[in-house]
Structures are given as C-alpha cells and as structure tokens.
C-alpha cells in the first residue's frame, strides 16, 4: 500500500475489490439464477466441492461406510468459481450459499454448515465417531468448535492475503501468519502427548485435518516453507497418520476437479466410482 485508506462514512458496493474470488463476492444474499439441484438414488444427497470444508463431510461419509454403516450417498459438484452456489436450488438447501450442503431425502431435512452436517450424520448413525466417554466427548466438541472458530483466520485471513488478494501486503500477511502459527502451536502442544484430538479418532480429527492437516502436508496456499510447517512435528505425524486411512484417501477425491487425474472424482454415486480410471 502506498497511501492510507480512509473508509467512507457509509460503505457502498461500487466495484469488485479484485483478487481470485472477486467475480463471485457480493454483499447480498439470495439466488442469482434459477437452477434445480440434481437428485440421485440414495437418501443422502451432498452438494459440495473438495475444499477443506467440503472434504470434512466426504471423509466422514467414507469413514461411516468403512465402519459398516449404511451411509451411501450421492455427491454432486458445486463449482463455486462459476457461481453454482447462487442457484435457486442450492440456496433452498443453504440460504448462506456456501458449500457443503446436505439433503436427507429420507427425512426431508436440509443441513448446512460443515460441523452441523458432521454432527447430523454422526447422530443418524448412532453417534459414530463421537466418543462415548463423557470427558472425551466434551473434549471432542471443544476441539471441533475450536476448528470452526479458528479456521477462518487460516483461510479467510492468511490464505486470502497470502495467496488470493490482488496484491501482497505486509501488515495483513504478518498479522494472519502470526495467528496461524499460534494455532499450529496449540495443536502441536496438544498432540505432543495425545494420539488423537479427543482420546480416539473422532469428528474433531477429521475436521481439523481438513484444514491444518492439509496445511502441514504442503497442500495449502504454497505456504509450507513460509510458515515452517515442518517444525510442528507432532501435527505433521498426526496428519500423516490420518492421510493414510483408506476412507480419507477416498474422501479427499470426492468433488475434486484439480490435481492429477487419479486424485479427482467430480461426482460420486457409488463405491464403484473410485475404480473408474
């Protein structure tokens, strides 16, 4: 920045602010166009994209299937870069126009917000991946909601200014890099003497892995060296352990349209889809 920005008395939306997502950012809610959502054959219909918030849910669904639950689902691609999230059908499922969103055809229930979807699915299948022990259960909820409160500093804060903003600016990058490193230190100290976030592999591990696991594994914002993620050795070991789980490998592919061809599965309608070259 070459000169100080002086905010107006009343902010008005006059032009796109620039950056990677400028074309889809707007200060109002609601649909921009009519578009019905597709519906498959399974009770669970997921509308999503393989962002960190998206893979939280597909990893859980694949873990439920791996554990023997009848959690078959259809996963439909929502291309947020093209504005699919502003279609009338999607807005009906999620009035906030963010992925992921879920429709349970067996109950007619819509569910939005990633942690809400995870809790809904866990309850639907008997409390799966929530510890039964009261102390561990409380710990799991604490860490799950820690992720929901912390990740916006990583994604909307650090990720935006480091990777997506139209210009690199020292103050916001330093501000959010400091906070992300503090968060990584919180995790590293906890995982130094815990195998999992809450006594056993749980929703909290899946949710935190989707954001912070991907970060320390070098998959986010090309920022691994900048943030010195290798120094958080306990987080890295934990992330590598989760990364090797078969359900996680599958879940990361669902609704993915970038990377190597074998990493992509834009839509998922049955387990056989993973075998399609």
State the CB neighbour count (10 A cutoff) for residue 244.
9
Render pLDDT for 56-74 as a digit per residue (tens, 0 to 9).
999 999 999 999 999 999 9
Least confident of 2-6, 154-158, 193-197: 2-6
Q: What's the count of helices (H) and strands (E) in the chain, helices before strands? A: 9, 4
End-to-end CA distance of the chain: 48
Contacts of 275 (CB under 8 A, 6+ apart): none
Task: Map out the domains of the chain as residue ranges.
Answer: 1-129+251-277, 134-243
| pTM confidence score | 0.96
Contacts of 208 (CB under 8 A, 6+ apart): 143, 146, 147, 187, 197
pLDDT reported for residue 24? 83
Least confident of 1-15, 99-113, 124-138, 205-219: 1-15
pLDDT reported for residue 2? 60
Count the alpha carbons within 13 Å of 24 in the hemisphere toward its beta carbon: 14
183, two tokens: 């968060």
pLDDT reported for residue 276? 73
Structurally, what CATH architecture does the domain formed by 134-243 represent? Up-down Bundle (1.20)
Render pLDDT for 15-25 as a digit per residue (tens, 0 to 9).
667 777 777 88
d(CA 91, CA 67): 32
Fold observed for domain 1-129+251-277: Glutaredoxin (3.40.30)
Angle at 65 between CA 126 and CA 106, to 5 degrees: 60
Mean pLDDT of 140-165: 97
Mean pLDDT of 262-269: 97
């Amino acid at each position: 920045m070459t000169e100080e920005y002086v905010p107006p008395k009343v902010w008005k939306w006059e032009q796109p602010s620039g950056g990677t997502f400028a074309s889809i950012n707007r200060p109002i809610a609601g649909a921009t166009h009519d578009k019905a959502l597709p519906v498959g054959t399974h009770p669970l219909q997921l509308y999503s994209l393989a962002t960190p918030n998206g893979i939280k849910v597909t990893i859980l669904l694949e873990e439920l299937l791996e554990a023997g639950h009848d959690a078959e689902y259809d996963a439909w691609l929502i291309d947020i870069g093209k504005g699919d999230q502003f279609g009338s059908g999607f807005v009906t499922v999620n009035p906030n126009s963010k992925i992921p969103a879920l429709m349970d055809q067996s109950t007619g229930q819509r569910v939005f917000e990633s942690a809400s979807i995870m809790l809904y699915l866990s309850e639907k299948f008997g409390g799966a991946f929530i510890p039964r022990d009261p102390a561990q259960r409380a710990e799991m909820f604490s860490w799950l909601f820690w992720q929901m409160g912390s990740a916006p500093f990583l994604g909307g804060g650090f990720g935006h200014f480091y990777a997506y903003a139209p210009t690199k600016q020292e103050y916001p990058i330093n501000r959010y890099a400091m906070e992300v490193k503090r968060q990584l230190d919180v995790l590293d100290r906890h995982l130094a003497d815990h195998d999992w976030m809450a006594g056993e592999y749980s929703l909290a591990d899946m949710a935190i892995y989707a954001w912070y696991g991907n970060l320390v594994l070098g998959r986010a914002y090309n920022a691994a060296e900048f943030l010195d993620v290798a120094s958080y050795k306990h987080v890295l070991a934990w992330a590598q352990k989760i990364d090797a789980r078969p359900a996680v490998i599958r879940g990361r592919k669902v609704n993915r349209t970038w990377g190597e061809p074998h990493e992509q599965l834009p839509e998922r309608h049955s387990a056989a889809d993973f075998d399609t070259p």
